[in-house]
Each structure stands twice: as C-alpha cells, then as structure tokens.
Structure 1
Amino acid sequence: MIVKDINTLQQKMAEVRAAQQEYATYTQDQVDEIFFQVAMAANQARIPLAKMAAEETGIGVAEDKVIKNHFASEYIYNKYKDAKTCGVIDKDDAFGITKIAEPLGVLAGIIPTTNPTSTAIFKCLIALKTRNAIVFSPHPRAKKSTIAAVKLCLDAAVKAGAPENIIGWIDEPSIELSAEIMKQADTILATGGPGMVKAAYSSGKPALGVGSGNVPIILDKSCDIKVAVSSVIHSKTFDNGTICASEQAVIVDASIYNEVQKEFVARNAYIAKGNELTKLKKVVLGPNGTMNAKLVGRPAVEVAREAGFEVPADTKLIIGEATSTDISEPLSHEKLFPVLSMYKSKDFDDAVQKADQLVQGGGIGHTAGIYIDVVNNREKLDKFQNKMKACRILVNTPSAFGGIGDVYNFKLEPSLTLGCGSWGNNSFSGQVGPFQLLNVKTVAERRENMLWFRTPVKTYIKKGCLGVAIKELGPEYYDFKKAFIVTDSFLYENGYTKPVTDQLDAMGIQHATFSEVAPDPTLKIAQKGADQLRAFEPDVIIAIGGGSPMDAAKIMWVMYEHPECDFLDLAMRFMDIRKRVYQFPKMGNKAKFVAIPTSSGTGSEVTPFAVITDDETGQKYPLADYELMPTMAIVDADMMMNQPKGLTAASGIDALTHSLEAYAAMLQTEFTDGLAMQATKSIFEYLPRAYENGANDPKAREKMAHASTMAGMAFANAFLGVCHSLAHKLGAYHHIPHGVANALLINLVLEFNASTAPRKMGTFPQYEYPNMIARYAELAEFVGCKGKTDEEKFEALQQKIRDLKKAVGIPETIKEFGIDEREFLANLDQMVEDAFDDQCTGANPRYPLFDEIKEMYLKAYYGEAEYAELIGENEEDDEEFVS
C-alpha cells in the first residue's frame, strides 16, 4: 500500500495497530531475536544507506553518516541487548513488588533531514525492543533514504518473526499526514526542527521531543590546548556539523586566546576577519532570523562561497569572532554547519556568564561543555556544572560524539534523541531509549513491615538486686568515671539515692546529683539539669525515681549530647517510627543511661519514651525514639516499698493501661502479647494487696514492680493507643495525675476499640480487620473472667477493671475528681484536637474521629449514665450535644 493521503494512512495505521497487538504477546526471547536481526541488517547496510542519505539531501558527509548508522545499530544493540523489556522485568518477593513492562502501543516517528537513516534505525530498534509498533513521517527532502532504512528494518524484523505490519511509513510526506500520524499514535518520538517538535507537543498525545542545541564550550586557561582544539574541530566538522549536540561557540580565556587561534589555524580552520566576518554574519541566519537552512550540513568552502568570500580548499571550519552573546548577534545562534563562534573571556567567571547567556539564548536544556584540568580545578568545574541549565555537561569531550553518549563515556546512554527537560520545553531530560517507551505496571502485594523487640542492654530484676547491679558501673565492666544522678527532692531528702552514691563512692566514681525534678517535668527544669550536666561532664547518667525523674533525665541526656537539637523537632509526630521526617540524633556517645525506678507504673526504665511539658503553654509532649532507650535498668522492689497509697493506685492503673493498650496496639506481636497478658494478670492479683498492705506485703510490691516493667517492655515495642492520647491532654489541661487520667478513660477506650464495625479502623499492614472483641475475650479468659461468648467475656473484663479501680480508690468520673464543668467544657474542643494529634493515637486499632474523642471525654466527665440522660437516648439532638 502506498501511503499518500488520509485514507491510505488510516488504513496503514489500522494494520500497524493490529500488528502491535499481536507483537505485544511476544516473549523476551522472541523480541531479542528480532532486535538482534534488525541491528545486524541495519549495520550491514550502513554504507549504502549513508551514501543514499548524503546524495538525496545534499547534507553532511557520507563517510560520517556511515558512523552514525553504525552507532544507531551497533551501539544501541550492545547497550540494550540484555535489557528486560517484556513481562516481568523485576521481582522482589521479600517486599512483594513485581514490575511488569508493557508496550505503549503505536509510536509516531518524526525524522529530520540531518539524520534521515540513523535516526530511523535508532527509533526502529528501540520500538521493536519494547514491543511497540512505529509509523514514520520522513522529511520530504529525505523520504527516499528514510523509507529505505525503515523498509530494511521491517524486512529484517518480519524475517525474524515479527508481524508483517509492525513498522509503517508515509510514502508521500506532508504536514497534514504528519499531523494525522501524531493524532492517531499513542506516543510521539519527535526529532527535528523546533516547529516539528512544537507540533508534537501540541498534538494532545504524549511526546518525547527534543529542543534545539546551542552548545557553548569553555576553554579554560588550564586546558590542554592541542586536545581541546583538535576535539572541537573533530566534533564540529563531523557530518558537517549536523548533530545538534555539536559545538556552536568556544569561549576562550584571554591568557590563551592567541595560542588557541594559532592552533585552530594550524589545523585548517579559517578565521574570518573584517569584511569576511561581516558577510559571514549576514548569511548564517535566514530571512526569518533563524538558522539558514540552505547551509545546513554544507562544507566550509561552500558556506564561505555562499557568504561571498573564498577560503582554501582544505578548510575544515570557519571561525567568526564575536563579543556579544545577545540573540541580536547572528553568531550567537545554533549553526548546524561548520561555522564556529569564538569569544574571548577575561576570566573564568566571565566565561561561565557568556556560556550561560548562550545557552539561555537558544539552546537551553541541551548541552554545554568545558575543557579544563579537572584534577586541579574542581571548584571551577563545580561552578560551571552548577550554573549551566543543560542536561548534558561534557568535560574534555568532543560534544557531538559526547552528547549522543557511549563513545567518550560508556555510562552515558547512547541515543539520537536528546531530551532537554523543562528548560527546553521537553518532557524528558535524558537520553531517550527503550525505557521511555514502556508502561511499567507495579504489582504490590500486601506485606507486613519488619517488627522488632528492643529492651535495654541489661535489665536487672529481683528484690535486693541494686547492690549487685550497680557494681557493673565500676572498673570490671563499664569503668565509668563520673556519674550524674537525676531525681526529685523527696527521694533525695529521704535517702533513696544513698544506696547508689555509697556504691559509687566505693568504686571511686565521682558523682553529682540534680534533685529539682517535679511532677510533670518541664523544659525549663530539663535545661537547668542539662547545664549542670555540661559543667560536670559525666559518662553515665543515673535516673532514680518514678516517671518524672526518668523522663526529665532522658531529655537532659539529649540536651547534653546534642545541644544543637530543637525540642520541637524531637517532638515531631510520625506515623511510622522508621520513616519519621526528623531523624533522632545518635545517643550514648558522651554518656550511657541507667534507670532505677522507685514506683511501679511508668515502665520508663525500659522504654524509648519520655513526656515533657512546655512551660509556657502547659502542653505535654510525648517523645518517642529508640535512641532514648536506657542502657541499663535496675528494677529493685526495695526502692518501691514505701510508695504512698495514692501513688500506688495511680501508677498501678497506669501500668495496667500500658499492658491493655500494648495488647490492643496494631504493632503488637506474640512477643509483646505475652508480657502484656502476664502484666495484666499480675496487676489484677497484686495491686489491691500492694495498695492495702504497702511495705508489709513485699511480694505484692515486687510483683507490681515486675508487672510495671513487663508492661513497659510490651508498650516499648507495640506502642500505646488512644487512651494515653486522651490522658496526656486531660492531665495537661486539668492537672490530673497521669495514672488517674488513664484510669478515668480506660473502660471507655476498651469499649471504643471493641467495635467490630468501627467508622474507621487503624492503618497498618499487620492489622487485617477489627478483631479486638475476640482479643479482649482471650485476655479476659487469661485473667480469669468467665463467659459463654466473646461479648460476655469482654464485659466481665470491663467489670474486673471497674472493680480494681474501685478497690484502689480511683474516682469514677472526671467530674467526681473535682474538675469544674465550665472549665472542662471551655477547653474541650482544643483538648480533643490535641488528643487526636498525640503521638499515641496512630497505633490504636480503631482510628478515632474528632467527635468520637469528644464523646469519650464527655462520657468520662459525666459518667455514661448521666451522659445518656443529658443527650437523651436515641434523640435527634445527640449530634448537637456532642458537637
């Protein structure tokens, strides 16, 4: 079929599309055989095709076109022969990722007069390698040679097993038919003048087009002049300058300018002077102010003759000296013929400025080059490459060959279509190749993230273990020299630090004590402690106390080791601790951290968490990062014997909440479940005894100490949930002790989590579906709750928690605790938002919405019965009251 009008073109496109659909089913082996045979056939025909192109177009040098054809077949084949382009091209079973390559479909190949055969071969090969079909629109002045190259590729492809119509072309090219190809194709590969590329991008179809080149080359005073001049001549005269990456201007340092000129002349370049230069400037541009098409690819002698002067017959290149880089200067434009502009630069900065102006004026995004002694002038090279808005920066390289890649640098991909990025109004900034002609499907299978179980390096447990464990700080193990103790005034004044300081004295370890920590430690106190740390310069920090001294000590530790840290950065929220935006600094370089608890509740001695209060706002910030994990924990119940009843109750319920929330958290594992369950069981059994009997029941005290540490280990790895989010803010706004705040909310949170059809479930790959009613029932059985159904077991667990809270004197509601109703409601909306934003919210199995958090707060304040009365069960004003 002769394609010469719209009807025949549409028929051809239909045939090509059918062929492509068949070709899309081919295997990699079939495609690779076709790719090989076409490359072989094109390579074997490189000389006749080159001669045909030169004769038909009158452009360039036949012998150089042989190299282009060779490049388009041999280099492209070698680069991509082993590339996977069909079906599964990458598979990672561990991460559940499979990448599948699919063809784009039918490509439109727009071919220029300058490279009518090599560009056609190149596009045939990359289309065939990717199971695409391609239909060509040759340039009217190069149709014979382009069609010959394309037909040769088609015949070789069909002989190797490709569908008969996998490649097509227009026999009688026209603007109308070229536009129709682009309209019907799936993607356009456009190589040609600015008008053709613009038409491709305006077609409404995806296009890979290239911008014009206006390549400036700096010759720095440190360059090897012979290498630089020889390379420029070799490159600029290749195929009479028709490659768009060829040099358009050289910018020469003033100190070597004369020597460079002499070297050009010695190598048969001709420098136009006076009237000749004036004539040259008049002819390089056409009537429309763009490159003179009549001169494209013509030899230097003919260019001079066209300009109106004569040069020696052996002239390779005509050089025109210029001073202005403005577009009003004809020599500042792209010239695809052997004419080179030459500028003198007063210094390197001036050279870079001129090169930048030339690129900006007509070849933005394409290519720029430099000749320089790289070893001794790295700063200059860095300045050049950072300044140039060019997608190819070539160093000591002939730019025509360097730009197309793989000749002077094997890692730069070979291509005859060079993208210029957004600078050049192109969609691509690199070397166009087969990978730009693929749709890649990514199949992502559900995978659980890697989980972990982390604890301090050593955790000592057992009543009376302190005296033995603290000896590890001495010369036989850690060999610390200076210890800094952080505690509160009550513990310090009542001798709780003395067992530690006595041992430190015995081991010859200097020590200092900071005892100003108060409940809900503030940033101001932490800063004061950090100042003393910096003055004392210890190599170990020992926190002695409940959660407040341990939290304060952790913050001081960070401030001591990393005074440059911004606290708000440390407190930044994250969804996944492994992907947090702020990377917590490495801890332990200046000092190790030892935690000795004196209460059985926070578990902070084995967790990577700390809570600190902003002095100005009263806002509590929970910090979380495994860098905050203590080096050593010493859990000795002797340090906890004399806890008052209120602290015993609050800390005990805090520990219970830790275990219940760790058990429910989406990051829970069987490792954390075991600890959480045993801690829960121990707390139910021993907290009432510890509360009632205190030091008279050392077993209960020890069991509560161990339960607190086990719960800490559980939530250190599984994290917490929305109960802690609500409790953090309730405590911050109304100064309710943290353990009591948790106690006031925990039953409501368990009920909230137990829903089998929540409005929103949590997001984590390990968490498959809402299943907490069954898990709570499992826990209920473990702690001795009875029931025939999961619901009955869950309700028994809820009652067991209520009974425990009552046994240890926890009030039932926030209102009962004594918080003023007006004050509570006035702060409620902000408290809701702050609780939602708390770091603990993200691990909760049910994702809480604002109105759900508000409802839990209101129920906790009034009690569920009074709350139901206030809103009226099943009435229409429920939403109004809640909002």
Structure 2
Amino acid sequence: MSNTFVAGKRVAMPTAKPAVPSVRIGGARRPVRVVCEAVAASPSPVASKAEAAAPASAPTVSHAEPAKKERAPVTDDALVALKALLKRSVDAQHVYSTFTQEQVDEIFRAAAEAANAARIPLAKMAVEETRMGVVEDKVVKNHFASEFIYNKFKHTKTCGVIEEDLAGGIQKIAEPVGVIAGIVPTTNPTSTAIFKSLLALKTRNALVLCPHPRAARSTITAAKIVHDAAVAAGAPEGIISWIENPSLPVSQALMQAPEISLILATGGPAMVRAAYSSGHPSLGVGAGNTPALIDETADVQMAVSSILLSKTFDNGVICASEQSVVVVAKAYDAVRAEFVRRGAYFLNEDDKVKVDYTKGLSKEAISLIFKYLPRAYANGATDFEAREKVHYAATIAGMAFANAFLGICHSMAHKLGGAFHVPHGLANAALISHVIRYNATDMPAKQAAFPQYQYPTAKRDYAELATMLSLGGTTDDEKVVKLIEAVENLKKQCDVPATIQEIFNDPKLDAEYLSRLDTIAEDAFDDQCTGANPRYPLIADLKQIYIDAHSAPILPIKSLEFFSKIV
C-alpha cells in the first residue's frame, strides 16, 4: 500500500503498475485501441474532419435506407449553438494538445480536487433532481470518480514517448484523439461527468458532455466545477463543455458531428447503439441486468454479502447491480441460509397466494383511482379528500410498477409523446384499453421472459380486477370486456378523448402520424418497457394497436381477439 494525498487528505491506496496502451506511429488517425489513458492519433494536433465530411446536421432518413430510424430534426438555433460549441472545443483541444506532461498532471490534480471537494453537494443535487438513488451512495461514487481516479492515474504518462524498447527500436507514443462526446445517464449524472472529464483532461482531449434531460442541472454543475478548476490551473477555456438544453435529436447530432473523434456513451441500449452506428469510434456501457452465479467453490458468506451490498447500493440504479442470482444445487441450501441470515426474505407458496405484494399494491391503486379520480377531476378545488386519495393512488401505483416494471402501454406512450408532444398520462390513456385487449389472451404467440410467468395469466388477472370492481360478467372474457368498458367510462368522466385522432384535432398531424407509424412502432418495440409486457409483441402488432387507437373508439367491443392486419 502507498500513501497518497488529495486536498490535504491522506488515503491508503494499493500500488499498481498503470496499464499503458500500445500504439503505432503512422498516418492513421484512429487509435489502435480506444482507451482513456492514452490513445494514438496523428503526430500533430487533431484537426476538424470538416474537410472529409459534411457539417453536423440533424439526422435524416433516406427512403432508400428504411433501416434507419426517423428522428425529429434539430432546430436551427440548436444546431448553430452545437456547431459553435464544437468549434470552441476543437480550438481548445488544439492548444491543449501541445501541453507537457507536467502541465497536464497539474490540471488533472486541480480538477480532481475540485470535484472531490464538491462530492456531497453534487450528490444531494443529483438525488433532488432525478429522484433516484441515495445521497450517501452518490457521495461514494463522486469520491471514486474524483480522488480514486486521480490516485489511479496520476503517475500514468499520457504525453509523448511513454515507453521505449531500445533493443527492438520501438517507441510507444501517446497522442490525444481530439474532441470526445460524452453521453451522461440520469442514474449517475455527476460521477459519470466527473469521471469522463478527468480522463479527457489527463489525455489532452476536449470533452463535450450531453446530459440526460432529467439530470441536466446536476451534470452541468459537475462539469462546470471540473472546467473552472482546470482553467484556473492553466487549461484552455472550453476544454470541458456541455450542451445546455439536451435532447435526443441534439445528442444524435453531437455523436454524428464530424468534429467528434470518439464517443463515450453511458445510457440505455438505444443510446449505445446510436453511438456505435455514428461512424465514430465508441465505447458504450448501458443495459446491465447482471446475473450472479454461485457455485460450490464459492465463499458463500462473501458472495452473499457482496450481492446484497451491490444490489442495495444507490438503490440498485447502477447497471452492474445484480438483478438475479443463480445457485448450483450443491450450494443452494448454504446460500439460501446465508441470505436469510443477512435479512433477505424468500416468498413461500402461501405468500405468493395470499400476499402478492405487487398485485396487492396495483389493486389498491386501481380501486382508489376508479373511486376518487372523477371526483378529483370535477371538484378538485374543494374536494380535498378526493385529491388526497388520488395522490395516494399515484404513489401506490409507483411502488407497484417499480417492483414489477411496466409494459407496452408505456413503451408506446413514450414514443407517441416524444414524436407528437402528447403528455405521457394522456398518451397512456389513449392506448390502455387497446393494450388490455391485446394482452388478454391465454395463447400468446410469444411470451416475454422478464415477467417470468410459468404460463400466461394476463386474462385471468384482468378478470380479477373486474371482479374486484364489481363490474359483472361470467366468463373471463366477459369480465375483461367489462373492464375495458369501465376504463373507457372513466376516461369519459375525465374528458379524455376516445381516440388519438381526437387528441390531435389536426388533419396535418393525423397524416404525419400515419406516415411515421413504421418508425414509431419500431421505436416502441425497442423501448426498455417492452420486454416486461406479459405478451411479447411483434412490431406489426404495435403498429396495429397504434392504428386502432387512432381512428375509432374501442367501444362497443364484441371480442378480445386481436389480429394484426399488417403484413
């Protein structure tokens, strides 16, 4: 162990030989291996690729390339601002690429110390803004991303000759790649920004951060702290920058911009795929859903402790958190006993029948909504009881779907709202009855893996809701029809339009909607909620639901049968 100091604080750190990337000197501007310690490029500062590519613009879709997704274009003002931001970054990187190792190390140190000093207020800001995670755990992440990263790489050479083999006549030379695009997720809005900023500074690269829209304030604050400390230590102005008003079209325009030389993408699968398809070298981290395997050779106490600590850290928002545990038969009893000893709880068969936690919450929320939402809507200014009960219903429903996740109603509402600016609640209301009909089958062609049903139960579950609400009906099919009728009546009481066409109330939007259905349906299929739907849909099924929900009310409904008319 060695003693190291940051901002006057001494910490014990394991000594380790830093890994140095191997590069080849030559005309190629791409690194042989994309890493953040040091990467290869041309011997001169990285210039803009504007000569070889068209200026960055909004992604467009060619009719000759149907595989590409259509996205809303970037506004002219946003595009002008992005181009100006990238020019400043290119200019700053040109200057920074000439700095010596001593200058870079001092900037790296100053920026790390500033980020570490702000680790607690940044953690508080992140939780306040995103409503995700635990303040104390985000402090740990900010601490790791600043002080620990500094101590890990402070002695790593990233300028000029970093290794020489005199006998072989080979030199390893570290050169910057240029301007890096950094995509930052809502789950780790400050620690990811700090981490990427410090690695860019250590390697003489410029960084343009694109925050998640729901975490823009905390990400930008973290980036500004690092930037200001780096500039105060001698770095050029604009070496770390950020997009003030992030959005999906802007992030795509950033990733496809010719000024970008490397993308560090942290986010969902769609964002990572967008980075990989941008035409630039990319490193992507995202989906996670990590399983843990415990076999008979494992140290059971350590394995169980590690899983529990990892899964509960920051409320499990880190993509590397364990989502499931697989135990070999020989170790099962010991592992189960250790989980129980540590406070874990295993549902028994009686629990599953009598105390289904998620279904219980769901049913209570539904009951409250049917009873109190019409009152809250009609008399909200004076009916305080109804408003209170609706708030309870929203909270309880949130607890339920946080445990069980969502399905295609939300997948489709996400894309409907994103493409046509329909509020998310209204979009869900427009689709919900059609999704109930779609899911209410005992014979789905495909069944999703995420819910882990032994066999299809959605129709029976919907029928139970009808029974709970005293809606009538004899068979499960009749009860589900009664449930759909009740949902539509609830919507009517709250003045929710019966169709998407009524929501638009604009023939031009109707025409645009119908022309974009292929793309919207594909995007909905790719949404993270789709895999948790009880019936795994075909893209054609989603398109048909969009068509059905647009054109005519679902009532009167005579049958639950769903046939995709799309071929």
TM-score normalised by the chain length of structure 1: 0.32
Structure of higher RCO (CA pairs closer than 8 Å, 6+ residues apart): 2
More strand by share: 1
Larger radius of gyration: 1
